Each structure stands twice: as C-alpha cells, then as structure tokens.
Amino acid sequence: MAGYKPAAIQTYPVLGEKITQDTLYWNNYKTPVQIKEFGAVSKVDFSPQPPYNYAVTASSRIHIYGRYSQEPIKTFSRFKDTAYCATFRQDGRLLVAGSEDGGVQLFDISGRAPLRQFEGHTKAVHTVDFTADKYHVVSGADDYTVKLWDIPNSKEILTFKEHSDYVRCGCASKLNPDLFVTGSYDHTVKMFDSRTNESVISVEHGQPVESVLLFPSGGLLVSAGGRYVKIWDMLKGGQLLVSLKNHHKTVTCLYLSSSGQRLLSGSLDRKVKVYSTTSYKVVHSFDYAASILSLALAHEDETIVVGMTNGILSVKHRKSEAKKDSLPRRRRPAYRTFIKGKNYMKQRDDILINRPSKKHLELYDRDLKNFRVSKALDRVLEPSCTIKTPEITVSIIKELNRRGVLANALAGRDEKEISRVLNFLIRNLSQPRFAPVLINAAEIIIDIYLPVIGQSPVVDKKFLLLQGLVEKEIDYQRELLETLGMMDMLFATMTRKESTSVLQHTSDGFLENKKMES
C-alpha cells in the first residue's frame, strides 16, 4: 500500500514589513525609563570605563547617572549659565564642559569644584573634547574660534580662526593626538592638525553643521546638518561618499553603535534612524515623544539614552538574555531508551534494515487519510486555525476540491457551522492569494444551501455581508482594470519609442503578453 501523502500546504510570501536581524536587535529593549531634567538635554555622554555611568547636560547642570539609577549619582551645578557638552575623558576620571559664558571647566569625577578653568573664549562654548593623548582639550565657541588647551598648566596652546560662523560641534581623533574635527554654522567641517597651525582638510556640508563624528579608524567622517547626514572619506582628502536624507527636520546628533556597524542619527522630527555602515540604508527607526537633541549608546549597545527638547531623558535598557543559556534539561529514562543506538555506525558486514519511519501527520491529515472529509474541514475551520494560519484552511479546501468531495464536506451543516464557513470566506475572500479557491467554495456553498436560504436570519446576514464584500471587490477590480488600461497606454508609448530606436529589445514578458492581447 502506498503511503499517504500529506496535503500540500501552499506557502505564500508574507506581506508587509520584513523582520530582519536589525529589527529584532533594536526592538529588544525594555520600555523606556523617563527622567525629567531642568531644561533641554543638549548632550549625553557615556563614560568609556565601567561601570559606564553617563553624564547628562541640561540647562546649567551636569548630572551623572549610574546605568540603572534614576536619581543622579552626582551633580555639577557650579555654572553661572547654561552648560554645554559635558564629555568624559577616555579613562572616565575627568569631565570637561563648556558654558554659555565662554568658560571651559574641567572636573574630577569625584570632586565638586572645577580642577581647571580655561578662560579665553568670548562667547558660548558649545563643544569640547579630549584629544587622544588625554592631556589636551579642544573647544569650539560661538566667537568663531577653535582652541586647544593644555590641561597640566591650563594654558591655551593654539587658536584657529578659520571658521566664519558659530562652531557648534567637534570631535577629536581616537588614534592621533594631534587631529581633531570641528563643524560650524558656516556650513564647513574642518580637520585641524595641532602640528600645522591650520586646517588640513575642509569639506563643505551645505547646511549649518550640527554634529560631527569620526569613525574609530579615523578614515571616515560623518557630518550632520540640515536634513542631511553626509559621510566623507578623509583618507581621500575629504571626498563625499554618501549623502543621506532620511529625516524631515534638522538632524541634531549622531552616534556610532559599539560594533561600528550601525550609525544612529537623531533629529528634530522626533525620530532616531539606524543606518547600516556598509549599505547606508535605514535598517531601523525609533520614535520619540519630542524633538531629539542628544543621543548616546552604552558599551555593547546595552542602553540607549536620548535627550529631548522638553527636558525629558529617555533611557532604554536591553532585555537581559540570561535565560537562554540554561543547562540542557536531563531527559527521562524512556527517552534515553528511545534514542538508544541512534548514532550506531554501520560496521563492515552489517546489513542495515531501515524501519520505515513513521510520519507524523497533522490531525486534519489523519482525517483526510481516513476520508473523514467533513471532519477534516471542521478541524481547519477552528478559530485557532482560521485566524493564525488561514493558508492551511485554504489548502485543505483546495485539496478537498481536488478530490471532488468539497461539496460533500460542505453539505449537511447546521446554522452555526455554516456561519463559521461564511465568516472565513468573508474574512479571506478579498485576499488575492486565496481568492480563486474561496470563490469556488462560495459557489458550492450557494449551490448546496440555495433551497434552505431564508430559514436562518444569521446565515442570511452573513450572505448579505459576503455580497457587500464581493461588490466592493468587484468595484475595486474594475478600478484596477481602468488603471491597467492607463498603464498600458504608458507602456505602449515606451515600446513605440523603443521600436523606433535601433535597439529592439522587449525584456519583460508581461509586456509581450500585453501586446499579444492587444
């Protein structure tokens, strides 16, 4: 006797957004914790050293939060005016911050009063950073200048006056202690070398630059300003590699994920976009409640911190994955007996006799195998099946139709059962992937139950619903047919053009079909 062949379940491509590795990764965060700050959060910076505390600059204060604390561990509030850009040193022990009154202050994490005060800027200092050798600080200010300071004797070493508007962002190279980059509202990003007294590379961003970022290798530079994020190749002397325009308002902050594979940008349009640094396509997007001014990721992307204009700091922690690597469960003795000899290798003189492996059949398959067609249909019309996997239901209906027993299976149902079938039809008839099978089924149902129509108001109502749906679908298809006509016209002009030209290639099959039909 030939083995029973289970009913083929037709799979269809899933509609809608595809679930990628990235969406899984970036969705794997807990609900955000919200912390209210005193003013717009202009900067968030993570300490590079464990325990990875972060400094939040808002209004005239700098708060330092622990990774899981919602109360600040420490507060620096000795600013006369708004503080800007509190940044940790690479060893996490020093913190530097600019201020609206033009001062730059250096703090010890454990202390309270500033260790050093660098006076020299005449206007607000919006950007400060430590150079790679840890002993210098770079600052950019609204007086159009960029200054390099020496920490040990708190002296100004160099001043660059090349920008012609506010300097609002900057970044020091992680590898070379002499290189740093600043972006300005004069639309340029300049790379300075402290050995030369002047900028070595200058690139034109096209909009006031709000944020700059150097890749860890130092070879690529990212600048954000206006609605654009631009990637520059510094090794080629500042060649524009990519220009991204995925936000609809000004991009205010940039951050690189810890692996360096993903670039994040935050914008006033209340979105954070995640780009792949290989394809520069948006792979994920976060929504926030207010315009975003600052953004930072913790070590290993464990935490995403976003600061907004309304003074709310949103902190998202990654869901812990500790449960995954639990010990393999010890199986019962019966199981061990069951798998005994499974991995026995065939010896030379052994003759291996395969026992026909027992196929596991689904319940509906068992029914089908035993020709209980009505029951098989009942099984796939269970709500659990029709809602989750309508394709199985449709496949079974198709199989029954192939066997020619669909009428039998559908016949002899009471009011409740028939309304269940009709419900399924109403829900799925308009889906193009199911339509051919279900239209057939609907016709059979009508044929069977035509004589008894009018007995049950419930069923009558379902039929009315079905009719409404079919009417809508027909209207829709009529519209589609008209549109197809329009597109044919368009395509026809295309082909005429092509035929007039010497090159005569009709690449697309359906075009040919169209011509055949016409």
Partner 1 sequence: MAAGGGGVADPLSPAGVPCAFSPLNQAYFALASADGLLRVWETANNRLHQEYVPSAHLSGTCTCLAWAPARLQAKESPQRKKRKSEAIGTSNQIDLLALGTAVGSILLYSTVKGELHSKLISGGHDNKVNCIQWHQDNGCLYSCSDDKHIVEWNTQTCKVKCKWKGDNSSVSSLCISPDGKMLLSAGRTIKLWVLETKEIYRHFTGHATPVSSLIFTTIRPPNESQPFDGITGLYFLSGAVHDRLLNVWQVRSENKEKNAVMSFTVTDEPVYIDLTLSENKEEPVKLAVVCRDGQVHLFEHILNGYCKKPLTSNCTIQIATPGKGKKSTPKPIPILAAGFCSDKMSLLLVYGNWFQPIIERVVRTPVMNSEAKVLVPGVPGHHAAIKPAPPQTEEVESKRKLGENEISIEERLGALDIDTKKEKDDLPQTNSFPVLLTQGLESNDFEMLNKVLQTRNLNLIKRTVLRMPLHAVIPLLQELTKRLQGHPNSAVLMVQWLKCVLTVHASYLSTLPDLVPQLGTLYQLMESRVKTFQKLSHLHGKLILLITQVTASEKTKGMACPAQKAKLVYEEESSEEESDDEIAEKDSDDNWDEDEEEKESEKDEDLNEENEEEEEDAEEKDEENGEEDRDVASEKELNGDSDLDPENESEEE
> What gap in Å lies between CA 21 and CA 258, rounded to an integer?
17
Q: Report CA-CA distances (Å) from 311 to 32, 175, 196, 253.
A: 15, 34, 41, 16
Q: Which is nearer to partner 1, 139 or 173 (CB)?
A: 139
Rule CB under 8 A: say whether 499 interacts with partner 1: no
> What gap in Å lies between CA 77 and CA 74, rounded to an integer?
10
Q: Report CA-CA distances (Å) from 91 to 8, 9, 112, 138, 464.
A: 62, 59, 18, 17, 73
Q: What angle do CA 265, 296, 316 make, to 5 degrees?
A: 100
Binding-site string for partner 1 from residue 258 to residue 297, where x marks contact by CB under 8 A and - marks none: ----------xxxx-x--------x--x---xxx-x----
The stretch among 212-220, 228-236, 347-355, 504-512 that binds partner 1 (CB under 8 A) is: 504-512
Rule CB under 8 A: say whether 483 interacts with partner 1: yes
Q: Which is nearer to partner 1, 43 or 136 (CB)?
A: 43
The stretch among 86-94, 214-222, 319-327, 481-489 that binds partner 1 (CB under 8 A) is: 481-489
Question: Quick one: DSSP state of residue 269?
Answer: T
Cβ(312)–Cβ(37) below 8 Å: yes
> What gap in Å lies between CA 122 and CA 34, rounded to an integer?
36
370 alpha carbon, distance to own chain's centre: 48
Radius of gyration from C-alpha coordinates of the chain:
34
402-431 residues near partner 1, rule: CB under 8 A? 408, 411-412, 430
Q: Which is nearer to partner 1, 41 or 94 (CB)?
A: 41
Q: What's the closest the beta carbon of residue 212 comes to partner 1, in angstroms?
A: 17
Q: Which is nearer to partner 1, 261 or 467 (CB)?
A: 467
Rule CB under 8 A: choose which of 31, 510, 516, 518 binds partner 1: 510
103-122 residues near partner 1, rule: CB under 8 A? none
> What gap in Å lies between CA 178 and CA 175, rounded to an integer?
9
Binding-site string for partner 1 from residue 183 to residue 222, where x marks contact by CB under 8 A and - marks none: ----------------------------------------
20-79 residues near partner 1, rule: CB under 8 A? 38-40, 42, 59-60, 79
Strands 188-193 and 83-88: unpaired
Strands 136-141 and 125-130: antiparallel
297-356 residues near partner 1, rule: CB under 8 A? 308-310, 312
369-388 residues near partner 1, rule: CB under 8 A? 369-372, 374-375
